[in-house]
Chains A and B, each alone.
Chain A
Amino acid sequence: MAKNFSETELDALKEFVNISTAHAATALSKMVDKTIQVQVPQMKLVPVTEIPKLLGGSSLQVVGLYFRISGNMSGSMLILFPKSTAQKLVELLLADIIEEDAMEFRGIEKSALMELGNVLTNSYLNALAEMLNIRLLLSVPHYGEDELGAVVDMLLIELAEAADYALLMGTTITLEGTDLAGHFIMFPDNQSLDMMLSKIGMH
């Protein structure tokens, strides 16, 4: 993506992301019965190769849930949780039936996190689709856990095929009373971005 976005355009996109994330956070809040805070969204045009650094560094242990978006818009959605946050979420979701210090999450924990990802992403995209008055479809969740750099590089590859820069539309959510954080990141392709901007009268 060679082009630059104006401040106004970025602010408008930020508002969409903010509202969509708020919907997802409400869903999460209901699932785990905790208050969730949504941080001010990041909205930056960044070199694709800088993305791991901006998300917390390549070596961070994370769980990633990857979705393909299709319909009137196409692109990808990635939910990233540091491993410790994922562990905490699993505890909240599954009460006391999990194994401590497991190297990898077992089947049921993975399913729980995938289901959580499904609910969050659906809430997020439903809100977005409603605001833009478009139809969006979501793939099944793809689950990955490892170092952040390794988990996100497939997405970077996908982005790098289209452009050297990508618009990072991300939000951080935090759980009440803890410093547990997660990232929501959406990467619409260039046409979809143009469509979003034209829907809100920016083009």
Chain B
Amino acid sequence: MISVTIEIGAYRVMREEGLLESISLGSCMGVALYDPVVRVGGLAHIMLPSSMFSARRESETMHTKYADVAIRTMLEAMLALGAQRNRIVAKIVGGACMFESSMFDSAMNIGKRNSEAVKEILGEEKIPIIGEDVGNNYGRTIQFDVATGRVLIRSAKIGSKNL
């Protein structure tokens, strides 16, 4: 089976089978989108909430580090592989605050801003969130099985669980 690790700020889509993996998400977000009928899945490793506030949007090379660009680009790529928009569901993971003393400092709690942005964009795209493990203070590694739609979360601090 093919197993692909998503680079930070990148995304990948797959059809029918394969594992998509995102390693050690802290404040970053892993967004898994899935059409269970044709088994088309995509996983994005998102760093920042929105490209709207980027002062250097024009010169940038990696727009998919932003939640809005990543989710919408990945959606298009999934539709191109045969997914249907009205069947797509989402599972979202990450957006932690890894430094204890910064939990209540919104400038430093980028994880919270990331998870809020992801939810807002998925809402705008009318994609239901059917599973989530966000926030808190632990890192997460996720494995998204495109054959089943299952997302396995592994964490050094709290162990493993399925979404």
Chain A residues with CB under 8 Å of chain B are 2, 48-49, 52, 58-59, 61, 64, 66, 103-104, 140-144, 146-154, 156-158, 160-161, 164
Contact = CB atoms under 8 A, between A and B. Distances in A.
B24 A52 contact: yes
A102 B140 CA distance: 20
B106 interface: no
A141 B102 CA distance: 10
B79 to A, nearest CB: 27
Interface stretch (B12-20, B25-33, B36-44, B120-128): B25-33
Interface residues of B, number: 33
B147 interface: no
B65 A160 contact: yes
Nearest to A51: B8
A147 B27 contact: no
B143 to A, nearest CB: 13
A154 B24 contact: no
Contact of A146 (B26, B47, B60, B111): B26
Interface string B32-72: 00000000000000011000001000011110010000000
Contacts of A150: 24-26, 96, 98, 138-140
B25 A142 contact: no
Nearest to A161: B48
Contact of A142 (B9, B108, B141): B108
Given A58-B24, A164-B62, 10 more contacts: A59-B23, A59-B141, A142-B101, A143-B101, A146-B24, A146-B139, A153-B27, A154-B27, A154-B111, A157-B28
B99 A153 contact: no
Contacts of A64: 98-99
A96 B61 CA distance: 52
Nearest to B103: A142
